């Protein structure tokens, strides 16, 4: 978990969406792998395989790779509609990255705090981190984000 995630008065720090990612020193997204054809899905699949040629309904949970490459990126200059919960008032734009994982899937997510579109380049390596998303009456809610890897950032200049 990021150092910026400080517990709420009740001490609770939990994922905003349970079961989508692990926490700790090496967080990972949790996907599923079809037992029949091997298709990887994120978020986790529970009903049918995403492969149109497969009719399996049986899956194994898998931790996805923590690192991937930037496939595309943009910034959210305008506040998304509900159920989005703004982190600040007034709204502050943030960067989004579509990241291709070695498993062959592309995962969209916000970019880590302190980084923006100027820190991204298609093909650069990013790593999954867990950071606070918002705080409510139950405590701090966390989400995954993509953090540019330092070696790529140094080669940018």
Tens digit of each residue's pLDDT (9 = 90 or more) over 87-101: 788 989 999 999 999
Indicate the pLDDT class of residue 136, thresholds 50, 70 and 90.
confident
High-pLDDT (> 70) share of the chain, %:
88
Query: Does pTM surpass 0.85?
Result: no
Residue 109 backbone phi and psi in degrees, to 5: -165, 165
Q: Is the pLDDT of residue 9 over 80?
A: no
Average pLDDT over residues 10-17: 74
User: What span, in angstroms and rounded, lies between the C-alpha atoms of 45 and 42?
Assistant: 7
Place of tokens 């995630």: 5
* Distant-in-sequence, close-in-space partners of 30: CB < 8 Å, separation ≥ 6: 19, 20, 21, 22, 42, 44, 61, 62, 63, 64
* Predicted local confidence at residue 24, as pLDDT: 85
> Tell me, what DSSP letter sits at residue 29?
B
Q: What is the mean pLDDT of the chain?
A: 88
Burial (0-12, 13-18, 19+ Cβ within 10 Å), 151: exposed
Q: How far is CA 98 from CA 8, 110, 111, 141, 145, in A?
A: 31, 9, 10, 22, 11
User: What span, in angstroms and rounded, lies between the C-alpha atoms of 120 and 94?
Assistant: 12
Average pLDDT over residues 110-127: 96
Distance between first and last Cα of the chain: 29
């Amino acid at each position: 978990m990021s150092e910026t995630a400080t517990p709420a008065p009740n001490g609770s720090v939990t994922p905003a969406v349970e079961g989508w990612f692990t926490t700790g020193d090496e967080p990972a997204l949790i996907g599923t792998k079809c037992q029949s054809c091997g298709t990887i899905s994120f978020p986790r699949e529970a009903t049918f395989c995403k492969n149109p040629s497969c009719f399996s309904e049986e899956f194994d949970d898998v931790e996805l790779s923590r690192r991937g490459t930037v496939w595309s990126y943009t910034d959210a200059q305008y506040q998304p509609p509900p159920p989005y919960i703004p982190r600040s008032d007034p709204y502050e734009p943030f960067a989004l990255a579509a990241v291709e994982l070695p498993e062959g899937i592309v995962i969209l997510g916000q970019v880590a705090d302190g980084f923006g579109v100027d820190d991204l380049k298609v093909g650069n390596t990013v790593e999954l981190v867990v950071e606070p998303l918002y705080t409510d009456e139950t405590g701090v809610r966390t989400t995954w984000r993509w953090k540019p890897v330092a070696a790529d950032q140094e080669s940018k200049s």
